[in-house]
């Protein structure tokens, strides 16, 4: 830009002083982008990658009502030119809008045939479209029977005692560095604990053991001691025996060659870490005189699972046993800290569904994905004060601090898989948590493969 003339240069022209001021004031720099750009109008997290469609598609298969609901989120309102087409075999849907298109593989095949056009609502014009699709059950396929089988209805959790006993020399490794925590063959027997209320059943166990009632007194006591059933109804960790519950192993310190106390400055220590990389793997269990190793921090025989699946298993267990669906989840409170801590109010809205999305996830999700839909609100938690009444329809749930932080992160990221219009519901935020499926515990692998084949054929 050329430099402005001084004010004295305009004096002989008789121009008003206000005009002279305008002429001598430097002009602002021209913007680098003259026209508005839709890709730059959004926040960095929401900007589109090159060649990425602005159309977001999401579908969920609700098992019990046997329908697929398709959500489409558009950049602008739909018009008569907006089209949705079901492909020939009913396994995917393509939505076209303003010259762009996006395709999603459905969680299960639906009725169609011959590239069927789907009817879109004419009014009112909207950026958010919702379609209900009818499921196709081919004669003799047994597809719905497979999806709704008893195996799938159960709260499937890997690494139960029976499965571990059937493995040849099951070893435990750190999920972070994959180094050995418990050597293969170190644990000679794996024993399932019934549930969190096992201590209430101890008297029944001791008095009714049909497989051991014939043993003499001293022999009986030896068997009880080996299994960890100690006097006073107290579980004790036993060397070379692994006790298994929903989300952890209870082991003797001597069996955990790759584990160390990671909080030696605390009294008593509260954290166990991997000797090789310091990754947190559990906590000491003083009442049981053992170490509790968390399943979500480890792998067994080169297999590990995402943390969110362990969280889902925990919530499903509570739903089944507490007969409620709302939980106040918070991290373990510090003994010295009386201030409120961040927490989540969780509502397990749909415990079981299959979902597909046109948006990829962090862990390389392979759709259809078995999930649960949860509603949640960010809150704070503090211990009840004297005189305060406990809420009867909401259960308090304590997570280890690291697990709670990962829970918050997973829910936040899962919302990005949903279309914008499906991320909130009446004041609640909506999130997804992946669930264990039969393939995760290697049950009926042929059935699982067959299901996926029929879904995409």
pLDDT tens-digit series, residues 442-452: 633 333 333 33
* Tokens linked to 223: 């068997």
19-38 exposure pattern, b = at least 16 Cβ within 10 A, e = fewer: ebeeeeeeeeeeeeeeeeee
Is the pLDDT at 34 greater than 60? The verdict is: no
Is the pLDDT at 46 greater than 50? The verdict is: no
Give the start-to-end residue ranges of the domains of the chain.
1-30, 56-136, 161-300, 307-435
Following DSSP, what letter does each residue of 9-29 receive, concatenated? GGGGGT--HHHHHHHHSPPPP
Mean pLDDT of 405-423: 91
Is the pLDDT at 116 greater than 50? The verdict is: yes
Residue 118 DSSP SS3:
strand
| pLDDT class of 128 with cuts at 50, 70, 90 | confident
- Write down the pLDDT at residue 31: 45
pLDDT tens-digit series, residues 20-31: 666 666 655 544
Q: What is the mean pLDDT of the chain?
A: 78
Q: What is the percent of the chain where pLDDT is above 90?
A: 39
Handedness of CA 368, 373, 378, 380 (dihedral sign): negative
Is the pLDDT at 367 greater than 60? The verdict is: yes
* CATH class of the region 56-136: mainly beta
- Write down the pLDDT at residue 101: 87
- Write down the pLDDT at residue 231: 46
**Planar angle of CA 115, 116, 122, nearest 5 degrees:** 135
Is the pLDDT at 117 greater than 50? The verdict is: yes
The closest alpha carbon to 248, from 190, 301, 197, 167, belongs to 190
Is the pLDDT at 456 greater than 60? The verdict is: no
CA distance linking residue 357 with residue 58, whole number of Å: 4
- Write down the pLDDT at residue 453: 30
- Write down the pLDDT at residue 433: 96
Is the pLDDT at 210 greater than 50? The verdict is: no
- Between 429 and 127, whose confidence is greater? 429
pLDDT tens-digit series, residues 217-259: 544 455 545 555 544 557 899 999 999 999 999 999 999 999 9
Residue 408 DSSP SS3:
helix
- Write down the pLDDT at residue 253: 96
Residue 456 DSSP SS3:
helix
Mean pLDDT of 120-143: 70
| pLDDT class of 9 with cuts at 50, 70, 90 | low
Is the pLDDT at 180 greater than 60? The verdict is: yes
């Amino acid at each position: 830009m050329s430099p402005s003339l001084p004010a004295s240069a305009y004096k002989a022209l008789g121009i008003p002083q206000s005009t002279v001021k305008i002429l001598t004031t430097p002009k602002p720099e021209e913007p680098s982008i003259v026209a508005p750009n839709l890709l730059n109008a959004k926040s960095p997290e929401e900007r589109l990658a090159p060649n990425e469609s602005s159309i977001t598609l999401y579908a969920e298969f609700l098992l019990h009502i046997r329908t697929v609901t398709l959500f489409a989120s558009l950049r602008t309102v739909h018009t008569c030119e907006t089209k949705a087409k079901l492909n020939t075999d009913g396994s995917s849907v393509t939505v076209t809008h303003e010259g762009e298109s996006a395709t999603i593989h459905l969680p299960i095949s639906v009725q169609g045939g011959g590239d069927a056009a789907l009817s879109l609502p004419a009014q009112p014009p909207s950026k958010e479209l919702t379609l209900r699709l009818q499921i196709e059950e081919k004669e003799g396929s047994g597809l719905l029977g497979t999806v709704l089988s008893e195996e799938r209805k159960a709260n499937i959790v890997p690494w139960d005692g029976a499965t571990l006993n059937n493995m040849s020399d099951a070893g435990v490794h750190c999920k972070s560095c994959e180094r050995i925590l418990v050597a293969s063959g170190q644990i000679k027997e794996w024993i399932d604990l019934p549930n969190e209320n096992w201590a209430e059943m101890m008297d029944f166990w001791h008095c009714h053991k049909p497989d051991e009632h014939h043993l003499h007194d001293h022999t009986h006591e030896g068997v009880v001691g080996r299994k960890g059933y100690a006097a006073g109804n107290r579980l004790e960790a036993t060397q070379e025996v692994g006790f298994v519950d929903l989300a952890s192993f209870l082991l003797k310190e001597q069996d955990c060659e790759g584990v160390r106390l990671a909080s030696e400055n605390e009294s008593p220590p509260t954290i166990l870490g991997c000797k090789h990389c310091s990754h947190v793997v559990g906590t000491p269990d003083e009442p049981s005189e053992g170490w509790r190793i968390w399943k979500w921090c480890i792998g067994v025989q080169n297999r590990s699972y995402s943390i969110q699946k362990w969280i889902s298993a925990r919530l499903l267990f509570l739903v089944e046993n507490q007969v409620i669906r709302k939980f106040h989840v918070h991290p373990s409170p510090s003994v010295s800290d009386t201030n409120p801590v961040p927490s989540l109010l969780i509502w397990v809205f749909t415990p079981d569904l299959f979902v597909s999305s046109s948006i990829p996830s962090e862990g390389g999700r392979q759709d259809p994905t078995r999930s649960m839909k949860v509603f949640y609100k960010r809150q704070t938690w503090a211990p009840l004060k004297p005189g305060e009444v406990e809420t009867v329809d909401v259960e308090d749930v304590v997570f280890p601090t690291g697990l709670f932080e990962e829970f918050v992160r997973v829910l936040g990221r899962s919302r990005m898989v949903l279309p914008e219009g499906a991320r909130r519901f009446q004041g609640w935020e909506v999130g997804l948590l992946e669930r264990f499926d039969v393939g995760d515990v290697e049950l009926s692998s042929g059935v699982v493969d067959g299901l996926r084949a029929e879904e995409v054929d």
